[in-house]
Amino acid sequence: MILYTLGKSVFSRRTRLALAHKGLEAEIRDGEEFVAEAKRLSPQGTLPVLVDDGRVLGDSTVIAHYLDLAYPDRPRLFPLGPDASDALLVVSQVDLAMTTLVELATRYWPLRNDPAWDEVRTDKIGRAQAAIDAVAAQCDARASSWGAAEIWMMTGAQWVSSMPERAATNARVAQILTLGFVMPEKLVAWADQRASAQQRNPQSPD
């Protein structure tokens, strides 16, 4: 198993945590020198990329689902039964919030001086904020469980918390910070607690 990652990328971190939860080891190929190789392997052109038994998978969410399917005897990332839909909803909300913020600060950014900008930004930030708030509302319910939903929540919150420091050297991050979203303190505190616990035990932070 080979995992192509890129530095402190939130998506790469998700997949590393997913592998740790499953108790799986992979050869890590991390850094800019491996980006071209990874993009040749995966038509998505993004990292992380996982190569396992001749299969090539891009996208951290797809990789997580694959790991559950390919290694069903290992701890699950997505629960089965009644809790499955809740976990999928959390993962989709985190991805919605992150994708919306990134797109506004990149794809839509050239529109910022257009008369339509305020309407576009307000609509999309409203959707992102609703998703963020919905995720924050899950903190109490997810105080002791650990799987894909919690990994996505923790890494997403850490991604936002790291922005002020990174903004000094990354224009796109600085642009995200101008968009007007609010990170709930409850979610930040929850993520910090889970990160500390995860460092003690990669498979079960509690």
Q: What is the CATH number of the domain that holds 190?
A: 1.20.1050
Mean pLDDT, range 130-138, rounded to an integer = 98
Tally of structural domains, the chain: 2
Q: Is residue 206 part of a domain?
A: no
- Which of 14, 35, 70 is where one domain is finished? 70
109 and 188 co-located in one domain: yes
Q: Is residue 75 part of a domain?
A: no
95 and 129 co-located in one domain: yes
Instruction: Give the strand pairing for 27-30 and 2-5.
Output: parallel
Mean pLDDT, range 58-87, rounded to an integer = 95
42 and 113 co-located in one domain: no
Q: What is the pLDDT of residue 203?
A: 53
pLDDT-based confidence at residue 201 (cuts at 50, 70, 90):
low
86 and 62 co-located in one domain: no
Mean pLDDT, range 2-9, rounded to an integer = 93
pLDDT tens, position by position, 142-171: 998 999 999 999 999 999 999 999 999 999
52 and 105 co-located in one domain: no
List b or e across 143-178, with b for residues whose CB sees 16 or more CB atoms inside 10 angstroms.
Answer: eeebbbbbbbbbbbbbbbeeeeeebeeeeebebbee
pLDDT-based confidence at residue 45 (cuts at 50, 70, 90):
confident
CB 202 within 8 A of CB 19: no
Q: Is the pLDDT of residue 137 over 90?
A: yes
Q: Is residue 205 part of a domain?
A: no
Q: Which domain holds residue 97?
A: 81-200
pTM of the predicted structure, to 2 decimals: 0.93
pLDDT tens, position by position, 25-38: 999 999 999 999 99
CA atoms within 13 A on the CB side of 86: 13
